[in-house]
Amino acid sequence: MELEAIPGVGAKTAAALSELDDPVATVESGDVAAIARAPGVNEARAARIARGAIRRRHDDAGRVLATDRAREVYREAIDLLRERTVTDYAAKRLETFYPSASASRIAEAQSAAADATTREPDPEVRDALAGVEPLDDPPTVRVRDRCLATADAEMFARAERAVPELSVETVEDARDISELGRSYATVIVIDEAFAGLDVDGDVKVRPDALETPAETVPERLLAFFATNRERLEAAAAVHEAAAVAGDPVAPDGPAADLDHLRDALARLDDDGTIVGDDELARLTDAVDDLDAAVSTAASVADDRLREAIRERDVTIEGTDFLSLVEQGARVDSLLDRELADEYDEAIAAAREHLADALRLEPEEAELAEPIFDGDPSFPVDHDEAAVSRLRTELAAARDRRSARLKADLASDLGDLREPVEALVRDALELDVELAISRFARDFDCTMPEVVDPDADADPGESIGAGGDGTIDSGFRIEGGRSPLLDVAFDDAEPIDYAVSGATLLSGVNSGGKTSTLDLVALVVVLAQMGLPVPAESATVERFEEIHYYAKSQGTLDAGAFEATLRDFGDLVEGADGRLVLVDELESITEPGASAKIIAGILEALDDQDATAVFVSHLAREIRDAADFAVAVDGIEAAGLVDGELRVNRSPKKGHLARSTPELIVEKLADDRGGEFYDDLLEKF
C-alpha cells in the first residue's frame, strides 16, 4: 500500500512516516504512539493518520457528521471520554473512534469497546497510569572511542545510516587499519575481505556489525532504556497494580518480565553508564584518586622517616662530614647507609598505603611499586612516569570492564527491547479501555444495536417503533439519559423515544424537546462510533449521514434565509439513509411561511425514507399545510403544579402536545371560569 493512499496523508507526511521501521504495518496497526514516532508527527496528527488508515481498511470514505451541530455533539462525546483518561496518549487515541457508516468498522469498534467495558476501574491503576507515556527515542549518542572501517563505498553509506553513533572510516589496507587503531580504542572492520587480519590493538573484523547494533553500539540500547526508565517503571507499576486488582492488563501477563526489567534498569545510570558493579567502581575510583593517593602515600613514608631520623643518633665520619660541608652534598647517601632499613620500611608503608587506598589487585600493586623506587631521598620522591603507566593500565582495565558490562547489559536489554514496547503500549491502551469503561459506568450505558438499513430480510434486526409494530429504519431509545443536559446526570429523567420516517416533535416550552434531539444525536453518534450509549437499550439504523440543525438565533435576513433554504434543498436530495434533526426551524422567518416550508421539507424527506425529527411549536399549522399525514409526537405537560410545568419527558407517539399558553388558558378557565377563558380555550 502507498502511504499516500491513506486519507489525509500527503507527500510530506508520507516522507515522515517512511522513517518508521515498517511504515505501512505501523500505520495500519492504528498504534498512535508508534505512528507518532515518525519525525514531526505529534499524537494528535498520529490519531488522524490512524483514523485515515481505519477508514481505508473499511473502505469508509463517507462523512457521517454532516452539520456543525452534529460535529459539536461528536466533540462533546469525545470530551466526555477524554475527561476519563489519565494519559495524554489515551486522550488522543480516543480520537480514532469516529462515527462511521461502515458496518465492519462499527462492529470492530464495538467489539473493542465491549471488551473495554468489562474493565473494572481501579484507583491504584489510575494512579500508576499517571507516569506512563509513549517511549521516547533518545537523541543519537556519539561514541568516540570506537569506529567502523570499510573499503567499500556502498558499505560506507550503509554503515553511516545504520550506525550514526560511530564514525565510519575508509580504509584500503591493513596499514590504514592499524593506523586507525592508534586513534580509536576499538576498530570494527565490516568487510568480509579483511577476515583473518592481524594487526595490533583492539581491531575486530565483524561483517555482521551493522546487523547486531546491540554489540556494535551497546550505548544505543542503554541510552534508550536510561531515557525511558521512568516510563518503563510506571508501565511496570500499572501491570502490577492491575494484576493485584484482579484485572490483568494482558491475559498472558505483562509482555516483559518485570523483575528482569527492574534488575536491568538498576544496573543503568540515567546517562546510560553502568552502575552497581563493584569492580568497575573500584577501577573508576582508582583512576580518579590516583594522584591524591600517591601524594598521601608519600606523606606516610615521610612521616615514618621523620620519626626514624628523630629517634636516631647518627655517627658521621669526618670525611663524610667534610664532603657534606664542602660539596653541599645531599644526605641521600647517608640516608642509604645509616637508615637503609628504615627507608625500606617507609617505602613499603607508602606502597601499602597506595595499594590500600586504591584497592589495588596484587598485579596492579606490583605495577605500582616503581612509583616509590627511586634513590633514597627525604622527603620521599615518586616517579611520575610510573604513576602514568599505572594510570594508563587502570584506565584501560576500567574501559574494558565498562565495555564488557555495557555489552552484557545491552544483550540483556536487547531481549527486552520489543517486549517493553508492548508493555508500555498495553498500559496506554488500558487507559483507553478504562476511559471507555468509566464512561459506560458513569452514564449507565449499554451497547446499542446498530442495524443495517437494508436488513428487512432479517426481521429480527428491525427496529420496533414504540410498540406500533416493527420498522427497519430510524432509531429506538429506551431509558435514554443525556449526559449533555445542564442538570446533574443523576437528575436526568429517562426518555423513551423511537422514530421511523419524518416526524414533528411538539411540546410545551422547556419540556425537553431540544434535549431530546441532543440525546438522539448523541446516541446515534456514539452508536456509530461503536461505543456504548447512555440508555437502557437502543437500536439505531446505520445512518449514512447525520444532519443536526440547532435552533437558529432569530429571524434570518433574505440572503441568509435563501441560503438556508438552499441547504435544505440539497439535504432532501437523495436523503435516504440520513438522519435529520432540526430544532425550531420556524424561527428563520414569519410563522405562516415557516409552516409551509417545514411541511414541504418534511414531505420531501418522508418520500426519501429519511429519518427526521423536526422540533416545532407550529406542529398544528405544519400538519395543516402538509399534503400528507405528518406524524406528530408530543412532549406533554401533565399540568401546572405551583406555577411549574410537570412534564412527561418521553415524547408521546402520535400526539400533538398542548402548548404552554393552552395549558395556562385551561388552568385559568378551571380556576376562574367565565366566558372569556372558555372562548379562548375553544380556539386552541
Ligand X SMILES: Nc1ncnc2c1ncn2[C@@H]1O[C@H](COP(=O)(O)OP(=O)(O)OP(=O)(O)O)[C@@H](O)[C@H]1O
Query: What residues form the annotated binding site for ATP?
Result: 507-514
Residues facing 504 on adjacent strands: 614, 632
The 594-613 site mask, x for binding ligand X (CB under 6 A), equals --------------------
The 606-645 site mask, x for binding ligand X (CB under 6 A), equals ----------------------------------------
Least distance CB 668 / ligand X (angstroms): 21
Among 495, 504, 579, 602, binds ligand X (CB under 6 A): 495
Least distance CB 537 / ligand X (angstroms): 17
Residue 485 backbone zone (phi > 0: left; psi -120 to 50: alpha; other: beta): beta
Check binding of 388 to ligand X (CB under 6 A): no
Q: 123: Cβ–Cβ under 8 A, 6 or more apart, which residues?
A: none
Check binding of 382 to ligand X (CB under 6 A): no
Query: What letter represents residue 432's amino acid?
Result: V
Nearer to ligand X, 448 or 511 (CB): 511
Least distance CB 477 / ligand X (angstroms): 12
Nearer to ligand X, 418 or 644 (CB): 644
Q: Which of these, 397, 344, 343, lies nearest to 367 by C-alpha position? A: 397
> Residue 103 corresponds to which cell in the numbers above?
458496518
Q: Report the C-alpha gap between 89 and 78 in whole angstroms.
A: 14
Q: How far is CA 53 from CA 37, 198, 384, 402, 525, in A?
A: 16, 54, 69, 46, 20
Nearer to ligand X, 492 or 580 (CB): 492
H/E stretch holding 612 reads strand 611-615
Nearer to ligand X, 491 or 671 (CB): 491
What's the length of the chain?
684
Nearer to ligand X, 433 or 496 (CB): 496
Least distance CB 491 / ligand X (angstroms): 6
What burial class does residue 63 get, using C-beta atoms within 10 Å of its C-beta: 0-12 exposed, 13-18 middle, 19+ buried?
middle
Check binding of 485 to ligand X (CB under 6 A): yes
Check binding of 493 to ligand X (CB under 6 A): yes
Check binding of 402 to ligand X (CB under 6 A): no
Check binding of 649 to ligand X (CB under 6 A): yes
Among 21, 313, 486, 627, binds ligand X (CB under 6 A): 486
Nearer to ligand X, 376 or 483 (CB): 483
Residues of each annotated binding site: 507-514
Least distance CB 598 / ligand X (angstroms): 16
| Positions in 512-531 near ligand X (CB under 6 A) | 512-515
Nearer to ligand X, 43 or 584 (CB): 584
Q: Candidates 203-211, 395-403, 464-472, 480-488: pick the segment binding ligand X (CB under 6 A).
A: 480-488
Q: Is the C-alpha dihedral spanning 257, 258, 263, 265 positive or negative?
A: positive
Nearer to ligand X, 492 or 632 (CB): 492
Q: Report the C-alpha gap between 9 and 3 in whole angstroms.
A: 7
Is the CB of residue 614 less than 8 Å from the CB of residue 503? Answer: yes
CB count within 10 Å of CB 561 equals 16
| Positions in 291-350 near ligand X (CB under 6 A) | none
Q: Which of these, 619, 649, 642, lies nearest to 631 by C-alpha position? A: 619
| Positions in 496-515 near ligand X (CB under 6 A) | 507, 509-515
Least distance CB 492 / ligand X (angstroms): 4
Nearer to ligand X, 470 or 514 (CB): 514
E-strand ranges in 442-577 read 449-451, 463-464, 470-471, 475-480, 495-499, 502-507, 537-541, 545-549
Residues facing 644 on adjacent strands: 641
Check binding of 648 to ligand X (CB under 6 A): no
Least distance CB 534 / ligand X (angstroms): 11
Least distance CB 448 / ligand X (angstroms): 18
Q: Helix (H, G, I), strand (E, B), or coil: what is residue 611?
A: strand
Report which residue's Cβ sits closest to ligand X.
512
Q: Candidates 26-34, 438-446, 450-458, 492-500: pick the segment binding ligand X (CB under 6 A).
A: 492-500
b/e 272-294 (16+ beta carbons within 10 angstroms → b): bbbeebeebebbbbbbeebeebb
Task: Using CB under 6 A, list all residues that contact ligand X.
Answer: 485-487, 491-493, 495, 507, 509-515, 649
